């Protein structure tokens, strides 16, 4: 067991118990009263519903791609998901208008039950061009600052509401075991304790007081074992023992439930070859019964056709992402299951109650439409300042020799190298504007090069492809890293082409400038620790910058000493690709593999040099 996981199980249980005690003590008579009222409303509404209306509530569709006009009303749809990119040519009010149109359709039905609108806002409202985009969770993990994570989630909630959403599929509370997994960056850390702290902060920030129209329902995902599959395969098989699940993976979910998280998404992976979507023991017995979760358990993408159809409902799934052709299959299949007694009416009622409960908690029956006055807050300077603070605090200084950092702002000539230095799409990774992200600048974002130009009075030259040979420069800031990816596209294997090392051309950028004796600062943009042992030796300074999001200029502020480094590694850092031979290795270290840098490593300036 690694050092940071050395907390004993007893002290863990004690902490959980203490948190639960506190949360019970905090339950005011007023809140108890309001939840009794909500339960009464849920029961009365449920009594009025037909089977078709109940199954409709359990259905989530992708707007416009999965439905025709009129389907929301005629199929009694309960929720709409938006995933990929902007709707062309529309501003935030345009987005709101689309959702208003669908909401009106839902409200026109006999019982007028409003829709939940969900979005993958996993680092800010990242599907909207012009929104404030935060560092991905791995960077937030590096800040070690739960208050900041809470603020980031609060802002994400406001910007999500401003674009028409009342539900986000975030935070991802995975504990990644292997850097080969393409979703390492979506999780806060390999440490259960750090993940717990960030999970609590994130849910508090997103949900706050749910009735407030600037908050959203959050989703803890993906339940459970998403990040611990053998060899880091997205949606693969996890072979952990019950004890490992309980001690390492469940604690963030316990915290999420204690914090009142509104929904939990089931995971694509199997556990000891059993699909999580159909895992009754973990969904119903553990999550709902033992842990007392009273919110919605949602499938992942096409969960119905992919994982055992009605078995998943019997296991405890409450809402189905009935996308990409699953709509009729789900609605008819479940109806048949109930008629033939293979799914009980009680199970359906339990699912629908959970969905209605959250709709009441969100205040959707009173305020079903988005608030148009929130639009001015999207990408506001207040929001961007918090995101920039997160960028600064996420940077982890791995090496600083020969006094290269902080860079003197009057250094003479500075060369900034690499396409990642001036491309906000590359610096933001997957889940940015579009699902897989794109190597293109997007609205409102700043880049590292822009930050350098802003802060330094030196002559700044840009060598995009590392072939400019500006060997007369006093300092080279070389920005290298990964291309954007999301989900299985980012797994390290022969099909995706992703490796755990830098590309040959990026290695050459560093080689060229270091061999020419230019002082070099390497900035690594990546969704996971990469094997960079040789490049680390070559360079004078090395910074892990993760995937900073829209405020790239925040990086320059730290490189030039306007702020100190404070980030600490949220993952142990691998030394060699050979460390990845094992099933889990080496991220979730067994003690036979020695990391290059331990979890929690991070240097800083001894004295802070104020440049402004
Ligand atoms: C991902 C989820 C995401 C969902 C909806 C799935 O493929 O695994 O994390 O929330 O799609 O976009």
Measured CA to CA, the distance from residue 121 to residue 282 in angstroms comes to 26
Residues 457-490 pLDDT 10s: 999 999 999 999 999 999 999 999 999 999 999 9
pLDDT band at residue 606 under the 50/70/90 scheme: confident
Atom 7, ligand 1: residue with shortest CA distance: 301
Distance of CA 318 to the CA centre of its chain: 22
Mean pLDDT of 545-561: 98
Residue 525: partners with Cβ closer than 8 Å, 6 or more residues away: 420, 426, 427, 479, 480, 481, 482, 545, 546, 547, 548
pLDDT of 332 higher than 90: yes
| Residue 16: predicted pLDDT | 37
Distance 174 CA to ligand 1 centre (A): 13
Q: What is the mean pLDDT of residues 34-45?
A: 95
User: pLDDT class for 88, splitting at 50, 70, 90?
Assistant: low
User: Residue 35 above 70 pLDDT?
Assistant: yes
Residue 377: CB atoms within 10 A of its CB come to: 17
Rounded to the nearest angstrom, the distance between the alpha carbon of 23 and the centre of ligand 1 is 30
Distance 118 CA to ligand 1 centre (A): 11
Taking CA atoms, 119 is separated from 157, 327, 431, in Å, by 11, 19, 11
In the predicted structure, residue 404 carries a pLDDT above the cut 90: yes
Average pLDDT estimate for 221-248: 95
Residues 6+ apart with CB under 8 A from 285: none
* Tokens representing residue 59 in the block: 């259905």
Distance 267 CA to ligand 1 centre (A): 9
CA distance 197 to 34: 28
Q: What is the mean pLDDT of residues 84-98?
A: 81
User: Rounded to the nearest whole angstrom, what is the distance from the C-alpha of residue 560 to the centroid of ligand 1?
Assistant: 38
Q: Residue 217 has what DSSP assignment?
A: B
Are residues 80 and 115 in contact, defined by beta-carbon separation less than 8 angstroms?
Answer: yes
User: Which atom of ligand 1 sits closest to the CA of residue 84?
Assistant: 12
Buried b / exposed e across 450-463, counting CB within 10 Å, b at 16+?
Answer: bbbbebbebebebb
Instruction: Say how far apart CA 205 and CA 171 lie, in whole Å.
Output: 11
> pLDDT band at residue 581, thresholds of 50, 70 and 90?
confident
Strand partners, 237: 270
Which pLDDT value is given to residue 580?
85
Q: Which atom of ligand 1 is nearest to the CA of 186?
A: 9
pLDDT of residue 180: 95
Residues with CB under 6 A from ligand 1: 83, 120, 169, 221, 300-301, 487
Q: Beta strands 219-223 and 263-266: pairing type?
A: parallel
Minimal CA–CA distance to 328: which of 309, 349, 354, 351? Answer: 309
The pLDDT of residue 34 is 83
Contact 456, 413 (CB under 8 A): no
Question: Is 504 buried (19+), middle (13-18) or exposed (0-12) by CB count in 10 A?
Answer: exposed
Contacts of 362 (CB under 8 A, 6+ apart): 116, 166, 210, 211, 217, 262
Ligand 1 centroid to Cα of residue 300, in Å, is 6
> What's the whole-number mean pLDDT along residues 273-297?
98
Q: For the sheet with 219-223, list strands across it.
A: 219-223, 263-266, 296-298
Of 276, 300, 324, 487, the one to substitute when testing ligand 1's pocket (max ligand atoms within 8 A of C-beta) is 300
Residue 583's pLDDT band, with cuts at 50, 70 and 90, is: confident
Minimum-distance ligand 1 atom for the alpha carbon of 219:
10
In this structure, the number of other CB atoms found within 10 A of the CB of residue 37 comes to: 11
Bond before 406 cis per omega within 30 degrees: yes
| Nearest atom, ligand 1, residue 120 CA | 10
Q: Which atom of ligand 1 is nearest to the CA of 221?
A: 9
Please report the pLDDT score of residue 85 as a whole number: 64
More confident residue, 501 or 88: 501
Q: Which two tokens stand for residue 22?
A: 């506190």
Ligand 1 centroid to Cα of residue 169, in Å, is: 8
Residue minimizing CA distance to atom 12 of ligand 1: 83
Residues 355-381 have pLDDT tens digits of 999 999 999 999 999 999 999 999 999
Residue 21 buriedness (CB in 10 A; 0-12 / 13-18 / 19+): exposed
pLDDT tens-place string over residues 95-119: 999 999 999 999 999 999 999 999 9
**Distances 179 to 187, 375, 524, 569, 589 between C-alpha atoms, Å:** 11, 38, 15, 14, 11
User: pLDDT tens across 246-279, in order?
Assistant: 999 999 999 999 999 999 999 999 999 999 999 9
> Is the pLDDT at 13 greater than 80, yes or no?
no
Ligand 1, atom 6: closest residue by C-alpha: 301
Instruction: Determine the Cα–Cα distance for residues 116 and 501; give it in Å rounded to an integer.
Output: 42
Decide: 252 and 199 in contact? Cβ < 8 Å: yes
Average pLDDT in the 265-294 region? 97
What does the alpha-carbon distance between residue 336 and residue 78 come to, in Å, rounded to a whole number? 19
pLDDT tens string 144-155: 999 999 999 999
pLDDT at 585: 63
pTM of the model: 0.93
Cα–ligand 1 centroid distance for 134 (angstroms) = 19
Residue percentage of the chain with pLDDT more than 70: 92
Give the residue, by CA position, lying nearest to ligand 1 atom 11: 301
Q: Domains of the chain by range and CATH?
A: 9-376 (3.20.20.300), 395-580 (3.40.50.1700)
Q: What is the 3-state secondary structure (H, E, C) of 96-121?
A: HHHHHHHHHHHHCCCCCCCCEEEECC
Contacts of 340 (CB under 8 A, 6+ apart): none
| Contact between residue 350 and residue 57 where contact means Cβ atoms under 8 Å apart | no
- HEC string of 401-470 equals CCCCCCCCCCCCEEEEECHHHHCHHHHHCCCECECCCCCCCCCCCECHHHHHHHHCCCEEEEECCCCCCC
pLDDT computed for residue 599 by the predictor: 95
Answer yes or no: is pLDDT of 83 > 60. Answer: yes
End-to-end Cα distance, the chain? 45
What is the tens place of the pLDDT at every residue in 48-80? 999 999 999 999 999 878 889 999 999 999 999
| C-alpha 365 to ligand 1 mean position (Å) | 27
Rounded distance between C-alpha atoms, residue 503 and residue 505, angstroms: 5
Distance, CA of 479 to chain centre: 24
The percent of residues above 90 in pLDDT, for the chain, comes to: 88
Summarize the confidence of residues 184-198 as an average pLDDT.
Answer: 98
As a whole number, the mean pLDDT across the chain is 92
- pLDDT of residue 328 exceeding 60, the answer is yes
Atom from ligand 1 closest to the CA of residue 267: 8
pLDDT at site 298:
98
* Alpha helices (runs of H) in 144-272, residue ranges in sequence order: 146-162, 192-207, 242-244, 250-258
Residue 425, both tokens: 């799409």
For residue 308, the model assigns a pLDDT of: 86
Which of 301, 305, 488 to mutate to test ligand 1, by most ligand atoms within 8 A of the CB atom?
Answer: 301
pLDDT tier for residue 536 given thresholds of 50, 70 and 90: very high
Residue 222 CA: nearest ligand 1 atom is 9
pLDDT attached to residue 10: 33
| Residues designated as active site | 300, 487
In whole angstroms, what is the distance from residue 213 CA to residue 250 CA?
31
* DSSP of 528-543: S--B-HHHHHH-SEEE
Q: Which atom of ligand 1 is nearest to the CA of 321?
A: 5
Q: How confident is the model at residue 224 (pLDDT cuts 50, 70, 90)?
A: very high
Enter the tokens of residue 200: 């609590």
Task: For residue 506, report the distance from its CA to the centre of ligand 1, in Å.
Answer: 31
Rg (CA), the chain: 24
Residue among 169, 222, 235, 305 to mutate when testing ligand 1 (max atoms within 8 A of CB): 169
- What are the C-alpha distances in Å from 433 to residues 123, 130, 285, 445, 501? 11, 9, 38, 12, 26
């Amino acid at each position: 067991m690694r050092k940071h996981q050395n907390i004993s199980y007893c002290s863990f249980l004690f902490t959980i118990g203490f948190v639960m005690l506190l949360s019970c003590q905090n339950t005011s008579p007023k809140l108890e009263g309001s939840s009794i009222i909500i339960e009464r409303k849920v029961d009365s509404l449920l009594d009025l519903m037909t089977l078709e209306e109940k199954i409709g509530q359990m259905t989530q569709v992708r707007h416009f791609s999965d439905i025709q006009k009129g389907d929301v009303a005629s199929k009694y749809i309960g929720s709409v998901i938006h995933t990929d990119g902007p709707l062309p040519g529309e501003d935030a009010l345009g987005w709101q208008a689309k959702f208003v149109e669908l909401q009106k359709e839902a409200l026109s039905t006999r019982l007028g039950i409003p829709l939940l609108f969900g979005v993958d806002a996993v680092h800010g409202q990242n599907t909207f061009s012009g929104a404030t985009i935060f560092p991905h969770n791995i960077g937030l993990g590096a800040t070690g600052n739960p208050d900041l994570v809470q603020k980031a989630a609060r802002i994400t909630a406001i910007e999500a509401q401003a674009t028409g959403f009342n539900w986000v599929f975030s935070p991802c509370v995975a504990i990644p075991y292997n850097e080969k997994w393409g979703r390492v960056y979506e999780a806060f850390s390999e440490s259960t304790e750090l993940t717990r702290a960030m999970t609590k902060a994130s849910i508090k920030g997103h949900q706050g007081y749910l009735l407030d129209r600037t908050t959203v329902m959050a989703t803890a995902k993906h339940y459970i074992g998403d990040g611990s599959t053998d060899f880091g395969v997205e949606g693969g098989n996890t072979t952990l023992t019950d004890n490992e699940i309980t001690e390492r993976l469940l604690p963030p979910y316990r915290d999420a439930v204690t914090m009142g998280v509104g929904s939990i998404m089931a995971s694509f992976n199997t556990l000891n070859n059993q699909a999580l979507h159909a895992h009754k023991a973990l969904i119903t017995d553990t999550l709902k019964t033992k842990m007392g979760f009273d919110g919605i358990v949602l499938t992942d993408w096409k969960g119905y056709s992919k994982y055992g159809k009605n078995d998943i409902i019997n296991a405890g799934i409450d809402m189905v992402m009935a996308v990409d052709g699953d709509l009729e299959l789900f609605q008819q299949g479940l109806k048949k299951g109930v008629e033939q007694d293979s799914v009980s009416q009680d199970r359906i009622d339990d699912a629908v109650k959970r969905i209605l409960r959250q709709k009441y908690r969100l205040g959707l029956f009173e305020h079903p439409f988005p608030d148009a006055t929130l639009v001015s807050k999207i990408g506001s300077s207040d929001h961007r300042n918090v995101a920039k603070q997160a960028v600064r605090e996420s940077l982890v200084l791995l090496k600083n020799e020969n006094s290269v950092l902080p860079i003197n702002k009057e250094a003479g000539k500075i060369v900034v190298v690499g396409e990642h230095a001036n491309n906000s799409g590359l610096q933001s990774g997957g889940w940015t504007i579009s699902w897989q992200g794109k190597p293109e600048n997007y609205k409102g974002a700043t880049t590292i090069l822009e930050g350098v130009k802003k802060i330094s009075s030196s002559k700044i030259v840009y060598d995009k492809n590392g072939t400019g040979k500006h060997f007369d420069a006093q300092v080279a800031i070389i920005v290298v890293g990964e291309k954007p990816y999301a989900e299985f596209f980012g797994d390290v294997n022969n099909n995706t082409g992703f490796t755990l090392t830098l590309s040959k051309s990026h290695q050459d950028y560093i080689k060229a400038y270091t061999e020419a004796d230019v002082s070099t600062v390497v900035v690594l943009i990546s969704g996971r620790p990469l094997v960079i042992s040789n490049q680390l030796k070559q360079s004078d300074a090395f910074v892990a910058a993760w995937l900073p999001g829209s405020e790239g200029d925040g990086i320059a502020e730290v490189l030039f000493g306007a702020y100190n480094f404070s980030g600490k590694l949220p993952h142990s850092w691998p030394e060699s690709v050979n460390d990845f031979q094992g099933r889990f290795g080496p991220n979730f270290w067994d003690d036979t593999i020695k990391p290059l840098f331990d979890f929690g490593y991070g240097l800083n300036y001894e004295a802070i040099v104020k440049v402004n």
